[in-house]
Copies of this chain bind each other. A is one copy, B any other.
């Protein structure tokens, strides 16, 4: 006798899921939703009506007939910049205004100086969010409720206790330790603010846009720093302390083992992060100023830079091999600025295939995160949307 697993999601057919189906284009009519969700047509009608009255859904005329009455098309109100999102990085921040479907309405990249401290940095970014949301033509045109800001999601490049919104001993954010981001922001905007780690947000964004049908996924963010986000049973896995996915200080074999900002040596971050590559190249006498320079060198086929990228790829692969064996995900995707670095990717892949159980890699997808520079804010927006369309 064969036992199939418990249903993937007890929230089956919840308003959130209906909304997502419409947002992703999987469903266009009430009938579609009924088929997809397994709910009866009457129930779907009822729910849809509720969503419409909340301004979360709208009717957009009749669709094409498939041999019978034409469907009344549904859509998530688009163009309404109602969710703010900030994806804070080491040197830049991506700030955006997104609509309820998680689509980017308007976004900008701003230079930031983390070392200026949280008040200054976050203050400026929140102001930019307000500008982006406020400059919404739809809102200024009709000024109705659907155009109003519903929440702000913020991604931080360091450890965040999601539950409290507090930052805990970040390695590259001087002056931010213990800062309560959520509380600070709550004083500046009067909508819910959700704070999470940047890798988690990338994971959420990438999963929702590219792998929403997969249950278990791991996303690596390799930029200036290195981190990962975990999707388990379709949901973000944050772990006991909210530090799940933080593989930056796992030890890897490297000779000599480069010292890490954390005080140890041979950490993944000290070998495979963008910052590490910059440092290593400089020590070899190569004059690079930042990660962009390193990537250019690699693209140009520079021998030293390429060798370092390979080493970085092996290091990532080494850690990822343990993760894949242990967690057995359906997909491993790599994002961040180093994701476009072919030598790194290639040696990561090779190491992974070499060191994993055949069973674990047999159907494993190893990909690049597709969604580009907006994955982070997309993930942040999804977090907010999930919270706005609250219960189940």
Q: Give A residues with C-beta under 8 Å from B.
A: 1-6, 10-11, 159, 162-165, 168-169, 182, 186, 192-194, 215-216, 228, 230, 232-233, 235, 237-247, 249-251, 253, 318-319, 321-323, 325-330, 355, 357-360, 362-364, 387, 392
Contact = CB atoms under 8 A, between A and B. Distances in A.
A243 B328 contact: yes
A169 B358 CA distance: 9
Q: Which of A182, A322, A329 has the most CB of B within 10 A?
A: A322
Given A216-B237, A237-B327, 8 more contacts: A4-B163, A233-B235, A233-B237, A239-B328, A243-B325, A250-B326, A253-B253, A327-B327
A129 to B, nearest CB: 16
Nearest to A351: B251
7 contacts: A1-B165, A1-B193, A2-B182, A3-B192, A233-B237, A240-B363, A326-B326
B164 A325 contact: no
Contacts of A237: 216, 232-233, 327
A-B pairs, top 8 by smallest CB distance, nearest first, are: A239-B328, A10-B10, A244-B328, A240-B330, A322-B322, A243-B359, A250-B322, A243-B328
B244 A327 contact: yes
Nearest to A252: B322
B247 A360 contact: no
Given A228-B326, A242-B328, A245-B326, A355 B387 contact: no
B193 A326 contact: no
A20 to B, nearest CB: 15
Contacts of A253: 253
A243 B360 contact: yes
Contacts of A244: 326-328
B322 A168 contact: no
A15 to B, nearest CB: 14
Given A230-B326, A325-B249, A327-B326, A194 B3 contact: yes
Contacts of A163: 2-5
B232 A233 contact: yes
Contacts of A318: 251
Contact of A165 (B2, B242, B358): B2
A184 B243 CA distance: 44
